[in-house]
Amino acid sequence: MVIKDKDVRSGRPPKFREPHHPVTMTLPKRILDQLAQIDPDRAQAVVKVTEAVFGTDRGRFKPVELVEMAPGKSLIVVGPSKALDQISWLKRIEISYTRYLLSVPLGTPIEALEVALLDLLQNPRLSESEYENSILHDLINLIGNQRRNLHLSKEEILIINTH
């Protein structure tokens, strides 16, 4: 068997079976010690922590999902999104790492959110991100379908201003 140059690989075998990039970062000693408790290989430890927060590629969390809060009542919960940050009046309330409730100002018609989401889809910068597009499409479909079927309502929550 003849080995061609392109078949010969030098150096360490890759740690990950998916596209990867080397990264250099400075972390506090305390964090490095904590990562070492998760896995002696720092790269593996960072992957494990990230997947614990965001979910694995098998999809622990969906970008948009309904979470039942009471029988027959569910809340819309979304993941992190730079696209949603573009809607200045839409607030995301963090309920756990990478999981957010949506809040709109009092008196805002739900159709205003639908239009704002549709406008974001027209933004060419966002069309490059499959994840951001997924959130926008999922939210538009969920809100539109629930509104048309008269299953969508808005309720108020109590917020304390601490400043």
**Residue 54 pLDDT > 80, yes or no?**
no
Residue 14 located in a structural domain: no
**Structural domain for 92, as ranges:** 64-148
Dist. CA 150–CA 102, nearest whole Å: 19
Residue 118 located in a structural domain: yes
**Could you give the 3-state DSSP secondary structure of residue 62?**
coil
Neighbours of 82 (CB within 10 A): 12
Residue 141 located in a structural domain: yes
The total of structural domains in the chain comes to 1
Dist. CA 25–CA 37, nearest whole Å: 19
Can you give the pTM of this predicted structure? 0.68
Chain segment 97-138, per-residue pLDDT in tens: 788 999 999 999 999 999 999 999 888 776 668 888 999 999
